Amino acid sequence: MQSCKYLLRRRSSLPIHHFFSDCRNLSIPLKNGFIDDPQNQVLVEGNTSSRTAVLNRPTSLNALNTQMCTRLKKLYESWEDNPDIGFVVLKGSGRAFCAGGDVVALYQSILNGKVEDCKEFFKTIYSVVYVVGTYLKPHVSLLNGVTMGGGAGIAIPGMFRVVTEKTVFATPETHIGFHPDAGASFYLSHLPGYLGEYLGLTGEKLNGAEMIAVGLATHYCHSEKLTWIEEHLGKLATDDPSVIESSLEKYGDLAYPDNRSVIHRIDILDKCFCHDTVEEIIDSLENEATASHDEWCISTLRKLKEASPLGLKVSLRSIREGRFQSLDQCLVREYRMSLHGISKQLPNNFCEGVRARLVDKDCVPKWDPPCLDQVTEEMVDLYFSPPSDYEPELELPTKVREAFF
Q: Catalytic one among 86, 145, 158, 173?
A: 173
Per the CB < 8 A criterion, the answer to whether 286 and 301 are in contact is yes
Task: Output the DSSP codes for 241-293.
Answer: HHHHHHHHHHT-------TTSGGGGHHHHHHHHTSSSHHHHHHHHHHHHHHH-
H or E, element range at 207: strand 206-207
Judge contact between 91 and 142, C-beta under 8 A: yes
Q: Is 150 a catalytic residue?
A: yes
Alpha-carbon gap, residue 135 to 10, rounded angstroms: 11
Q: Which of 145, 150, 158, 177 is an active site residue? A: 150
215 labelled catalytic: no
* Cβ-based neighbour number of residue 358 at 10 Å: 13
Quick check: is 234 catalytic? no
**Which of these is catalytic: 46, 92, 102, 181?**
181
Q: Tell the burial category of 275 from Cβ atoms under 10 Å away from its Cβ (0-12, 13-18, 19+).
A: middle
- C-alpha angle 40/42/48, rounded to 5°? 110
Active-site residue 101, yes or no? yes
Rounded to an integer, what distance in angstroms lies between the CA atom of residue 197 and that of residue 189? 7
Residues known to be catalytic: 101, 150, 173, 181
